[in-house]
Chain A
Amino acid sequence: MTTVKALGKYLRELREERGLGIRQVERETGIPNAYISLLETGSKAHLPPPEVLGKLAKLYEVSVETLLAHAGYLQRPEEEPDPEVQVEKAFQHILSDPQFKYGTRLKGKYDLAAKRFIIEMYEKATKRKLLSK
C-alpha cells in the first residue's frame, strides 16, 4: 500500500472511531469535505501539507507526530510493532487486571475501535500508559 493510501485508511479509521461524519470534520477543522474524502480514499497524488494534518490531529486527539509519521514526513522506528498487535496485547493486559472492571453498551463483538476505547478508559483510570500514540 502506498503512503498516501495508508494515511487515508488511517485517517478514516480515526474519524469513524470517533463517530464523526465528513461534514462534521469540515465544520470543526475548516477543511473542505471533498478534500477529506479524497484524502481518505487515497485519491490524492500528493501527501497533504502538515498544517492540514495538524488540524486533523487536534480534532482526532492524536499527536501530530503520529499523523506526520503515517504521512511519511517523519521516519518511524523500523522495529515499531503493528498497531493492531499492540492494541490486542494491551487489551489482554486489561483483561488480566483484576482491579479494573468495565462494561460497555456495544452492538456486536469487540472490534479494534472498541478495544482501543477500553484501553483509553484504562489508561485514564489507572494513569498507566499501555499504547504509544
Chain B
Amino acid sequence: MADQAPDILDATQSPVCTVEDFCLDVAIQHGHFLETEGNEYPTLDFQRDALTPEEIAGQFVGYFKLRYPLTVDQIRAICDKSGFMLKAVHTPDKMRGANCSFNGQTYVYYKLSDPPTSQVHTLLHELYEIIDRELVEWAGARMRPRVMVDREANRFASNVQVPASLVRAWVKEQGTDVPALRKAFDCPYATALIQLKEGLRMAMLAEPDKYYPPMIGAIYERRFWKPTRSGRAPRLQLSFFVKTPGFPFTMQKPELRSLSIQHQQDIFQLHEMVMQERRGPLILENAELLHDGHALPVHVIIQPVHWPSVHRKAAKVIVQIFRLYPGGRI
C-alpha cells in the first residue's frame, strides 16, 4: 500500500465536493424532513448528538473519495475547494493546529515543524471542528463543549487517516505489527496503535469463530517538546494504552505500569523492561502475564523507535501483549 502513488483530488473534478456540501449531505442523510403547517417548504429535522465521529469519518472518506496513504496534499485539495485559507505556521509548543471562521471565511493553521503524518492528523482534527460547527448549525443546536469536540476530533482524525474497516482487512493479511501498519498508512504510531486495536475489535466481533489475538498495546515516549533543564533527553513516559476485549480484567494506567511478565524462570516488571535501552525489538514468546490473580499465556513484543539523526536514545517504545489461546497464532 505504501508503494502506491497517492491520488490527489483534482480540483477541477465534478461535482465539486466542499466541506459545506458534505455537512449538508450528512444532515440530510441522518435527518428527515418535516412538513409543518404554514411553511411552504419542509424543515430539516437533524439531531447532532445522534452521530458519532466514527460515522462522520466513514462518510467523509467515501464523500471525498480519499486514497491511502493520506497526504497533506489531499487534505489541502479539500480545503482549497471549500474556500478555506490553509497555512503552515510556527505555532506555540503545545499547539499543533488551529482554525477559525469569521464572516463566512475559514482559516486553518497547522504546525510547520511537524512531520507530514502529524500534519495530516492535525488538518483532519481542524476539519472536524469546522464540520461540527456546521452540523450544530444545521441541527439548530447550541455549541457543544470544547473539550468534547476536541476528543471527538481526535477520534475522527484517527478514523479518517486509518479507517478501522481497512485495518480489519489489513490484520487478516498482514498481522498485527504496529510499525508495519504505520508504514502502510503513513500515519503516527499512536494512530496506528489505536486503529489496530479498533480493527482487531471489529474483526473479533465480525468473526467470533476465528482467532484474533486479544491485545494490550501501549506507547511510551520522550516528550522532546518539553526540554529538560539539564539539557538531557527527557525520560520515557507512558503516553497511553489500548486494550481489546479478551482479557479477564479491567485496567488503568497505574496498573499497566505494574504488570509483571514471567518468562521461563524469571519475573520482570513490564515498566522496567520498557525503560531498558535496546536497539532492536525484544520478543518474549510463550510468557505469562501476571495480573490481578491471573496468569495468562502471552507473547510480548517491545519495540524501540529510534530517530538516529536527532537522538541516540529511543524516541518511543511500543509495547504489544497478545493473549494466546490453545492453537491460536499471531
Residues of A in contact with B (beta carbons under 8 Å apart): 16-20, 99-108, 111, 113-114, 116-118, 121-122, 124-126
A19, A102, A122, A124: the one within 8 Å of B99 (CB): A102
**Cβ of B101 under 8 Å from chain A:** yes
Smallest beta-carbon distance A55→chain B, Å: 16
The answer on a CB contact under 8 Å between B126 and A105 is yes
Residues of A within 8 A of B101 (CB): 100-102, 125
The answer on a CB contact under 8 Å between B99 and A103 is yes
- Known A-B contacts A114-B95, A121-B107, A125-B100; the reply to A103 vs B90 at CB < 8 A is no
Kindly list 15 other residue pairs between chains A and B, CB separation below 8 angstroms, not including A18-B90, A20-B90.
A16-B92, A16-B93, A17-B93, A19-B90, A19-B92, A103-B133, A104-B97, A104-B99, A106-B95, A107-B94, A107-B95, A108-B94, A113-B92, A125-B101, A126-B102
The residue on A at minimum CB distance from B102 is: A125
The answer on a CB contact under 8 Å between A102 and B100 is yes
Residues of A within 8 A of B90 (CB): 17-20
Residues of B within 8 A of A108 (CB): 94
Interface of B, helix, strand, loop or mixed by DSSP: mixed
**Cβ of B201 under 8 Å from chain A:** no
Q: Can you report 20 residue pairs joining A to B where beta carbons are below 8 Å apart?
A: A17-B92, A18-B90, A19-B91, A19-B113, A20-B90, A99-B103, A101-B100, A102-B100, A103-B130, A103-B149, A104-B99, A105-B150, A111-B94, A114-B92, A114-B95, A117-B98, A121-B109, A124-B107, A125-B100, A125-B101
Query: In the complex, what distance in Å separates the CA atom of A18 from the CA atom of B91?
Result: 5
The answer on a CB contact under 8 Å between A125 and B92 is no
Smallest beta-carbon distance B233→chain A, Å: 14
Residues of B within 8 A of A101 (CB): 100-102, 133
Interface residues of B in 32-90 (CB under 8 A from A): 90
**Cβ of B146 under 8 Å from chain A:** yes
Query: In the complex, what distance in Å separates the CA atom of A116 from the CA atom of B91?
Result: 10
- Known A-B contacts A19-B111, A121-B109, A122-B100; the reply to A103 vs B146 at CB < 8 A is yes
**Cβ of B176 under 8 Å from chain A:** no
**Cβ of B29 under 8 Å from chain A:** no
**Cβ of B96 under 8 Å from chain A:** yes
Query: In the complex, what distance in Å separates the CA atom of A102 from the CA atom of B126?
Result: 9
**Cβ of B122 under 8 Å from chain A:** yes
Residues of A within 8 A of B125 (CB): 105
Residues of B within 8 A of A99 (CB): 102-103
